[in-house]
Structure 1
């Protein structure tokens, strides 16, 4: 009788371990996907920052210049 209880406990533990491994695998896939998305967004940000710097660099000289003085 004691042995049956131990076997039942072991079976439950094995089921919990299997479920935990499945959850871990799902989370690993999600983390990988989110990491890839983060890298894409970082790349977009770098491109936008470069464009902004280029745009601001071109406008700085014009912004400080009065219309009569820039000719």
Structure 2
């Protein structure tokens, strides 16, 4: 993740996870090579919820946001 001037926690988070989703492995749900067992729409909504919660609790910072989002992704893995 690269920090550019004027980037907020939310834009850094969005940039990081956009890259993650773009580069993730593909596969049919339920197969061993599938990373996500739920739809990208569900994951996007969950990530958005994490961002909104963490920006309201601004004391957590970027590492807290990434940590929460990582938990969301891990819970959606097969």
TM-score by length of 1: 0.30
Larger Rg: 1
Higher helix share: 1
